[in-house]
Chain A
Amino acid sequence: MITEVLEIALILSTVLMAAYLVRHYIFTLTVVRNAKKNRKTFAGSESVDGSYQPKVSVLVPARNEERVIGRILQRMTELTYPKDKLQVIVIDDASTDKTGTIAEQYSRLYPYMLVVKRDKREGGRGKASALNAGMKWANGEIILCFDADYYPQKDIVEKLVKEFKDPKVGAVQGRVVVLNEPQNVVTRLVALERIGGYRVDQEARDILGLITQFGGTVGGFRRTLLESLGGWDENILAEDTDLTFRVYLAGYKVKYVGDAECYEEAVESWRAYWKQRYRWAKGHMQCAFKHWLGVLKSKNLGFKEKIDGLLLLNVYFLPVVVLFSWIIGGALTFLKFSQWSTPFWATFSIALYSSIGNFAPFYGVGVGAYLDGRRRAQWLIPLLLFTLLFNIPICTKALIEILASKIMKKNNNRWEKTEHSGNGNCYIIGIHNS
């Protein structure tokens, strides 16, 4: 009886892993086909339409970001978007360093900049809480968000905002490029993950009309929609994924703008990587529990959007499924070793994901790097195996904690802020962080 149950569980986990690897291949091949088409039609030279220029509010939440805040605020002054239609709001989220002082210096010099100060009582409760506080001061028709460690293109606002001409577009998402990539092996691997995530996954989702994800930064919303949705959910750690699904469930879509690019400072150590991914995993799982039924029942989503939505919601469960299949596979091998079929099934799921399954995301990353014109970044792809293995304990811990909080009915959310060293500054010529 136990072995039959284990066998069924193993088959189900194999089917689930196979679904994700098929998804990876579809995404990668879609992007390759689109790149070929673009090369033929010379679609890369699309100009930015300057006739549509609504009032835009840019929110920059910052907590102890003295090493990087000057960089983004300096960049805000260099944006090509008309300054009379721009409002930059820095939310100083109870910082204990010079973040507030630097932001205030800028706000004194540039009248379109505003600093929202939060004291110890209000602040430090996470990004969603800071963004909601900033939104109260925003007067733009469009709300854009940038993290403090980001460094956008000068014309990024035009590129993002132009998509809102389509009334169905409720949110936009630009592309994130790692700035401090040459720093060490962690930053280089994060850069590869970003290439796969944006150059391939996001772009393919946009082309195929699936669930394009708002990534929490380098993007924004139609203000009326954001207000009607009640702003950012402060009880969810992945407030960006949560909003993505709320936008889609409300009948709008998120548009990915691949040529709206912005640099980010990637995490520089495995410890920081763990903390960041743990927050993402837990937040994503919270979203999965919150939205899976809504996605299934939604009348605003088509069949393929529902499938993609469910795969996206459950993506952080996959490393747990891999671990699960390894354990069951190993157990079945010993329990029913005499029968040929069981060892076959036991090893099949492991072999499938470890070979073709693992290759699928690597293939996606490699294609993304190639399309970006990278020369040797692809050589590091085999090392992504370690990040994949690293995600197994991260996601397992996140799941255990979520299940424990559900059983004990206690929300133990804790926002682990990613530290930014400002090391990315050396890669930007002519920028001096004051």
Chain B
Amino acid sequence: MILASAVISAIMLIFGVITFIIVMLLPAFIELKKPKDAGPKILENGEQHEINVLVDMESEIRFDRVIVRKVAEIIAFLPSLEP
């Protein structure tokens, strides 16, 4: 009886350790097997992004959003053609 419980404990311990190792290292192995990281950091070669340029980009985006919203409103009035 005692021997059986000791064997069970040992099996549980080994199983636990293996599970822990797998859980801990699984993401690393997945990333090594099928890398999805973009790789090394791309160095910027003196490209200075001026704040006003970024503001212009933002205003363009805002303009696009207005158009998209209006188009969405128009589409909402259209009857659904799906069966």
User: Which A residues have a C-beta under 8 Å from some C-beta of B?
Assistant: 42, 45, 47-48, 80, 153-155, 158, 177-182, 185, 188, 191, 259, 261-263, 372-377, 379-383, 427
Whole-angstrom distance between the alpha carbons of A424 and B37 in the complex? Answer: 17
Would you call B49 and A382 a contact (CB within 8 A)?
no
Residue B83 lies at the interface, judged by CB distance under 8 Å to chain A = no
* B residues neighboring A (CB under 8 Å): 24-25, 27-28, 30-32, 35-41, 43-46, 48-51
Residue of B nearest to A44 (CB): B49
- Complex CA–CA separation, A372 to B41 (angstroms): 7
Q: Is the Cβ of A382 less than 8 Å from the Cβ of B37?
A: no
Q: Given A374-B37, A382-B25, A383-B25 in contact, is the A263-B50 Cβ separation under 8 Å? A: no
Residues A177 and B41 in contact in the complex (CB < 8 Å), given A45-B48, A155-B46: yes
Contact: A45 with B51, CB < 8 Å? yes
Q: A136 CA to B34 CA in the complex, in Å?
A: 50
Is there an interface contact between B45 and A153, defined as CB atoms closer than 8 Å? Answer: yes
B46 contacts A153, CB within 8 Å?
yes
Query: CA A191 – CA B41 in complex, angstroms?
Result: 10
Contact B35 A42 (CB under 8 A): no
Question: Which residues in B have their C-beta under 8 angstroms from that of A377?
Answer: 31, 37
Tell me if B46 and A48 are in contact (CB < 8 A): yes
B46 and A379: CB pair below 8 A? no
Partner of B40, one of A45, A179, A382: A179
Once A380-B28, A382-B25, A382-B27 are accepted as A-B contacts, the answer to whether A153 and B36 lie under 8 Å apart by CB is no
Residues of B within 8 A of A153 (CB): 43-46
A154 to B30, CA, bound (A): 36
Q: Which residue of A lies closest to B49 (CB)?
A: A45
B79 CB, min distance to chain A CBs, angstroms: 43
Residues B45 and A155 in contact, CB atoms below 8 Å apart = yes
> With the chains together, A68 CA to B30 CA distance in Å?
32
Q: Quick check: B49 and A427 within 8 Å, CB to CB?
A: no
15 examples of A-B residue contacts, CB within 8 angstroms: A153-B44, A153-B45, A154-B46, A178-B40, A181-B39, A182-B39, A261-B41, A262-B43, A372-B41, A375-B37, A376-B31, A380-B28, A382-B24, A382-B28, A383-B25
Are B40 and A375 in contact, with the CB atoms below 8 A?
no
Complex contacts, B38 vs chain A, CB 8 Å:
374-375
Distance between Cα atoms of A374 and B39 in the complex (Å): 8
Q: A153-B43, A382-B24 are in contact. Are A375 and B36 (CB under 8 A)?
A: yes
Q: Which residues of A contact B35 (CB under 8 A)?
A: 182, 376
Asked whether, in the complex, the Cβ of A177 is within 8 Å of the Cβ of B24, the reply is no
Cβ of B32: which chain A residues have Cβ within 8 Å of it? 185, 188, 380
The answer to whether A427 touches B40 (Cβ under 8 A) is yes
A377 to B50, CA, bound (A): 30
Distance in angstroms from B32 CB to nearest chain A CB is 6
Chain B residues near A259: list those with CB within 8 A: 44
In the complex, what distance in Å separates the CA atom of A180 from the CA atom of B45? 19
Residues of B within 8 A of A158 (CB): 46
**A379 interface neighbour in B30, B48, B51, Cβ under 8 Å:** B30
Contacts of B46 in A (CB 8 A): 48, 80, 153-155, 158
A101 to chain B, nearest CB (A): 29
Q: Which 9 residue pairs are nearest across A and B when measured between Cβ atoms? A: A155-B46, A379-B31, A376-B37, A379-B27, A181-B40, A154-B45, A261-B43, A377-B37, A182-B39
Q: How far is the CB of B63 from chain A (nearest CB, A)?
A: 22
B49 surroundings in chain A (CB, below 8 A) = 45
